[in-house]
Structure 1
Amino acid sequence: MFQTFDATTRPSDGPPRLAALRARLAEQGLTGFLVPRADRHQGEYVAPCDERLSWLTGFTGSAGFAAVLPEVAGVFIDGRYRVQVKAQVDLAAFTPVPWPETGLADWLIAQAPEGARIGFDPWLHTVKEIAALEKALAARGLALVPVEENPVDAIWPDRPAEPAEPIVAHPLQFAGEESAAKRARLGAELRAEGCGAAVLTLPDSVCWLLNIRGADIARNPIARVNAVLEASGKVDLFCNPAQAAGLDLGADVTVLPRESFAAALAELGGRVRIDPESASQAVASLLSGKAEAVHGADPCLLPKAQKNAAELQGMRDAHLRDAVAMVRFLAWLDDAAQGGTLTEISVVEKLEGFRREANELREISFDTISGAGPNGAIVHYRVTHETNRSVSPGELLLVDSGGQYLDGTTDITRTVTVGPPPEGAAEAFTRVLQGMIAVSRLRWPRGRAGRDLEAVARYPLWLAGQDYDHGTGHGVGAYLSVHEGPARLSRISEIPLEPGMILSNEPGYYREGAWGIRIENLVVVEPAPALAGADDREMLSFETLTWVPIDRHLILPGMLSPGERDWLDSYHAEVWARVGPRVRGEVRDWLRQATAPL
């Protein structure tokens, strides 16, 4: 599926849809309603039928939510989307709310009338979210009211149908472990804590556990499925049965209709583990009849994040293949951009073409971010025909992209200058590079989490009074979701980093209305090499997976320390050694220059 560039909604669509929603709420006796960007599975990416937030407001970011009241409708966005939201919503109808600086409960308490009844769809909010919100609102006399029918769905006349794409087996050579072995291992964990089953609602968890993949969510090889894992290792898989036609999952996996999931939950007994951070409130309510819900992490999260040897090798192979496409693209871009005829869309199309030429790309891993000049300052910018901008000399171009291959998932960002860089850009770029290098060179004692590490990426920017409003890195799946929990390089991540975890390393800096800078490599946690004179504590470090040149035209060598220069020269030498033999002619000549020592 090639990337498209049409806007799904426009700011002018918002006011009449908002008016229709308010009328519907009045009919249901509700004061307000919560509209998350979520589906029943609580994954980051959703199918078109679940794009309620985008349909209502026009905001298309991958995180956020709306709270609709009679006189005000707040759209809650984090630092990644402060610029984007202002361009996508009708600001006379919707009020952007900085989140998490402003909490939903505090906002509702300040904005909602006394005795307000705030509706919510219990399938679209997690157990943890609703528990915290109910506690805060009840103290102020506001009530949360679960609804059986989502009022947004009721006013959405052309809502897309739910996807039901075929489910396929993921080859063992890439999965690295039989599903039966995974199920036995996790079943033993459940037995050890006295649980008879666990409810799995995250599609990538189920796909990892059963060694299956799907195509229900664009750019993500996952199926929108639920499962119940028994302590015996048996699994009930809930999906459209036609999706699993011809799929041999073994005698211990039973395929059941998707619509029977709720009834099956109501019949479960004994102690059943659910993850309050990903299981919906509806799941907890359905279990309350016969079962005792035991709160605990999704048992698949950590083992899925800690890639095995086969998955790691697949990721290395996929990144090297992807590097060839990226190098060909950058060589082309370096020449073609000088003419001033390129646009953001033509850049996206050319890059996707290079990735597809090897005939091994299954899909891009997310809609390519191609931001020229001021559009680069929109962190998760998605170009449309309406916003398409020329790539002009004297501006920066930020390209964040990736590929889904059968053996791995890639994600890479490179920022390049077209001609001489704009004022201040080279200095900022070099500081971002220093932060990326600092993370790449890190060694740390085992047991540390992302929150303990990520400040090193910001330190060079902080010294200059600068920063960025997104995390430094996210987890990445192995031919799964490009954004994968639970580990992150983020000030809010408390998950200790363990060998085999793959993370992005992507500091940035953004000057609104002018340009944006981000440099991103993927790295994998590994035991740190021994050092002479070190004590005997266990240390970890990062292995780099991404091998693509960094634009030397934007680097001010005098700002780099000797150690940073050595790292960069060594990195570029490795890029040349790994990718050089795989390219020819003018591309090889370009790569030789792009990887020359500073």
Structure 2
Amino acid sequence: MKETMTIVQRLGRLRQAMQEEGLDAYLIPSNDPHQSEYVAEHWKARQWISGFSGSAGTVVVTMEHAGLWTDSRYFLQAENELKGSGIVLQKQQIPHAPEHLDWLAEKMAPGSRIGLDGRLFTIGQIRAFERLFSPRNIQLLTEADLIKSIWTQRPPMPAEPIFELPTSYAGQSRREKLTAVRAQMEQQGLSQYLVTALDDLAWIFNLRGADVECNPVFYAYALLEKESAKLFIAGEKVPPAMQKALLADGIEVHPYPAVEFFLEALPDASAIGYDQHITQYQFWRSLKHLNCKENVAIIRQLKAIKNPVEVKHLREAMRRDGIALTRLYRWLEDILKTRTVTEVEVAQKLDGFRREQGDYHGESFAAIVGYQANGAIVHYHPEPGHCADIRNEGILLLDSGGQYTCGTTDITRTTVFGKPTDEQKMAFTLVLKGNIALSTVVFPVGTSGVQLDALARVPLWQHQMNYSHGTGHGVGFFLNVHEPPQGFVASAANSRGATPLEPGMLTSNEPGFYKTGEYGIRIENLILCVEAGQTDSGRFLKFDTLSLFPIDQNLIDRALLSPQDIDWLNAYHKEVFEILAPGMNPEEVSWLKEKCKPI
């Protein structure tokens, strides 16, 4: 059903509800009760109240002010989407700009009441809120779900059935995974382990779903014990045959809301583990009588290290993706000779080429197809009627990925149609040099992403250029395209950057440069951490680049490349051609050969 209320009207309804509840401020985050980055339509309350469609941000509403706090990835997008809404963009993570909690602490008078839905905030978050607000005599009400009453046309919870991921793809049966988790539970002295992250649930049970667009996950909780496991999920999502198979593996199926009942029923002496940074605050009342260990993330670490079977399948996923991209760019080059093409048309065409590859479950995220100035919007997403026409001149940034049964892909290529400027060639080549530097580094065991991030930036820094996003994120196996715990980030305060890299971790390598109002450049490959060797100095690791598609040589300033850079690029293109060509027709092979020729 089409939404009839304007943003201004929605804010008015919310303020009326706040007045009825005696609230002076109300917080609306981006996430669902599982702290998912991408959420089902049912949980897009922040988007509904504000009109801002980015994946990160918090709306704060008082009687006099409404603000959206988001980070630099979304500044341009938010400015466009908030126009006329009455909601002000409040920029996060920039000097002298207060975060939303500090802003509230400053603006709210003693005795003020702040409301929020405690299901959407974690135990750790609420404790931090209370430490900030309590000394100021500001009250926090955590059971104020005001959205429920005013969002009358809210989409229902998803009801798609879940399905099995065969062990031939997963590399381990769920029994084997449960045994590994229980071994760590025993080491940590745990009798129970509460699992709330959707990708953790999918991984441990070798199940997948379709509850969240682009993410093959399903809404559920799990309680793992020494001898059994309980899966809390809407019953209609689990076919009878699957219920029987789960039970045979010691997994009971219970209704989704029943998790709190089972937590409350646990004996006081139970030693339960969970991650306070993911577990919703509403569970605290059911947990506080137990012996709680709050920073437990056993599955997250196990899931991050891809086993040899997963790695074998990931290489196949990259091959399929490379063939689909070859067909897309051949089509695009041909069609632009006769007509313009919209950014949306490119995204749809690529999705179709990926689907032809088989075992395809859709995009791993909404494709970023940014032509010219739109490429400078880091997380831009074209919409029908709100997108650019691509012409046979200018720069196109295409960041996309697919969900295959054999793995998740994420790749970015920047291409030029017509003749690039010297400035564009310099920027592209510096970004390429950063990508190569990170691809080729050898480093000792124990090194984390924050120690390597600068490698991708140094070529840009030398020309006083930079980019504001992280250099890379972990990637799941037929799971979420953004997967903790590891990543390449500039700040040690970010937990992703502090996680030591280990063999089997799959991470993106995506430096970029963005000139607002003109163009964007990004080059992204997925790189796998592997063993490099052992010396008297210890054990060393390196990366193996898995993504397979040529880098546009028309944008390269060869004079800026070192001999080592050239060697890497030629070797990479040789590998791309050798792996992709056998799956192509003669015309495609000819096109690919030209794109992969030695520089």
TM range (shorter): over 0.9
1:249 aligns with 2:252: no
Aligned residue for 2:551? 550
1:140 aligns with 2:136: yes
Cα deviation, 1:508-548, whole Å, max 9, x if unaligned, reads 11111111111110011111146xxx543111111111010
Trace 1:280-295 onto structure 2 (pairs within 5 A). 280-288=280-288, 290-295=289-294
Contact 1:201 1:226 (8 Å CA) reproduced: yes
Aligned residue for 2:208? 213
Runs of 5+ in structure 1 lacking a partner? 1-7
- Say if 1:301 and 1:143 are closer, same or farther in 2 by CA, change over 3 A: same
Aligned residue for 2:36? 43
Contact 2:7 2:85 (8 Å CA) reproduced: no
Aligned residue for 1:274? 274
Aligned residue for 1:122? 118
Trace 1:414-429 onto structure 2 (pairs within 5 A). 414-422=413-421, 424-429=423-428
Contact 1:505 1:523 (8 Å CA) reproduced: yes
Report the Cα offset of residue 250 of structure 1. Answer: 3.2
Trace 1:307-318 onto structure 2 (pairs within 5 A). 307-318=306-317
Aligned residue for 1:363? 362
Q: Which range moved further: 23-32 or 83-92?
A: 83-92
Report the Cα offset of residue 9 of structure 1. Answer: 8.2
Superposition TM-score, scaled by structure 1 size: 0.95
Which of 95, 101, 107 is matched with 1:105 structurally? 101
Report the Cα offset of residue 69 of structure 1. Answer: 1.4
3-state SS of 1:379 partner: coil
Count how many residue pairs are aligned between Structure 1 and Structure 2: 585
Report the Cα offset of residue 265 of structure 1. Answer: 1.8
Report the Cα offset of residue 91 of structure 1. Answer: 5.6
2: distance between equivalents of 1:527 and 1:562? 25
Trace 1:338-377 onto structure 2 (pairs within 5 A). 338-377=337-376
2: distance between equivalents of 1:336 and 1:297? 53
Report the Cα offset of residue 231 of structure 1. Answer: 2.9
Aligned residue for 2:572? 571
Contact 1:338 1:418 (8 Å CA) reproduced: no
Report the Cα offset of residue 77 of structure 1. Answer: 0.8
C-alpha RMSD of the superposition: 1.7
Contact 1:340 1:390 (8 Å CA) reproduced: no
Superposition TM-score, scaled by structure 2 size: 0.95
Which amino acid counterpart does residue 123 of structure 2 have in structure 1? Answer: V
Trace 1:232-247 onto structure 2 (pairs within 5 A). 232=227, 234-245=228-239, 246-247=241-242
Contact 2:376 2:516 (8 Å CA) reproduced: yes
1: distance between equivalents of 2:203 and 2:431? 34
Which of 159, 162, 182 is matched with 1:167 structurally? 162
1: distance between equivalents of 2:557 and 2:136? 56
Report the Cα offset of residue 117 of structure 1. Answer: 1.0
Which amino acid counterpart does residue 455 of structure 1 have in structure 2? Answer: A
Which of 186, 189, 202 is matched with 2:184 structurally? 189
Q: Which range moved further: 293-302 or 111-120?
A: 111-120
Aligned residue for 2:488? 489
Report the Cα offset of residue 100 of structure 1. Answer: 3.2
- Say if 1:9 and 1:574 are closer, same or farther in 2 by CA, change over 3 A: farther
2: distance between equivalents of 1:579 and 1:112? 60
1: distance between equivalents of 2:548 and 2:337? 25
3-state SS of 1:469 partner: coil
Aligned residue for 2:199? 204
Aligned residue for 2:518? 514
1: distance between equivalents of 2:452 and 2:390? 36
3-state SS of 1:315 partner: helix
3-state SS of 2:349 partner: helix
Report the Cα offset of residue 197 of structure 1. Answer: 0.4
3-state SS of 2:246 partner: coil
Contact 2:271 2:292 (8 Å CA) reproduced: yes
- Say if 1:586 and 1:451 are closer, same or farther in 2 by CA, change over 3 A: same
1:265 aligns with 2:269: no
Which of 66, 70, 74 is matched with 1:77 structurally? 70
2: distance between equivalents of 1:408 and 1:112? 48
3-state SS of 2:120 partner: coil
Aligned residue for 1:596? 597
Contact 2:192 2:226 (8 Å CA) reproduced: yes
2: distance between equivalents of 1:369 and 1:591? 23
3-state SS of 2:158 partner: coil
1: distance between equivalents of 2:44 and 2:503? 36
Cα deviation, 1:133-179, whole Å, max 9, x if unaligned, reads 211122223222111x5111211010000002111111000111111
Report the Cα offset of residue 406 of structure 1. Answer: 0.7
2: distance between equivalents of 1:161 and 1:436? 43
Contact 2:233 2:256 (8 Å CA) reproduced: yes
Runs of 5+ in structure 2 lacking a partner? none
1: distance between equivalents of 2:407 and 2:3? 33
Report the Cα offset of residue 217 of structure 1. Answer: 0.8
Trace 1:434-513 onto structure 2 (pairs within 5 A). 434-491=433-490, 492=494, 493-513=497-517
Contact 2:434 2:511 (8 Å CA) reproduced: yes
Contact 2:351 2:362 (8 Å CA) reproduced: no
2: distance between equivalents of 1:449 and 1:44? 23
3-state SS of 2:6 partner: helix
Contact 2:340 2:392 (8 Å CA) reproduced: no
Runs of 4+ in structure 1 over 6 Å off: none
Report the Cα offset of residue 204 of structure 1. Answer: 0.8
Q: Which range moved further: 337-346 or 278-287?
A: 337-346
Contact 2:116 2:141 (8 Å CA) reproduced: yes
3-state SS of 2:118 partner: coil
Cα deviation, 1:103-147, whole Å, max 9, x if unaligned, reads 232111223333221111111011221211211122223222111
2: distance between equivalents of 1:419 and 1:519? 19
Aligned residue for 2:150? 155
Which amino acid counterpart does residue 530 of structure 2 have in structure 1? Answer: E
1: distance between equivalents of 2:187 and 2:392? 63
Contact 2:528 2:543 (8 Å CA) reproduced: yes
Cα deviation, 1:400-425, whole Å, max 9, x if unaligned, reads 11111111111111111111125622
3-state SS of 2:484 partner: strand
Which amino acid counterpart does residue 366 of structure 1 have in structure 2? Answer: F
Contact 1:338 1:419 (8 Å CA) reproduced: no
Contact 1:186 1:231 (8 Å CA) reproduced: no
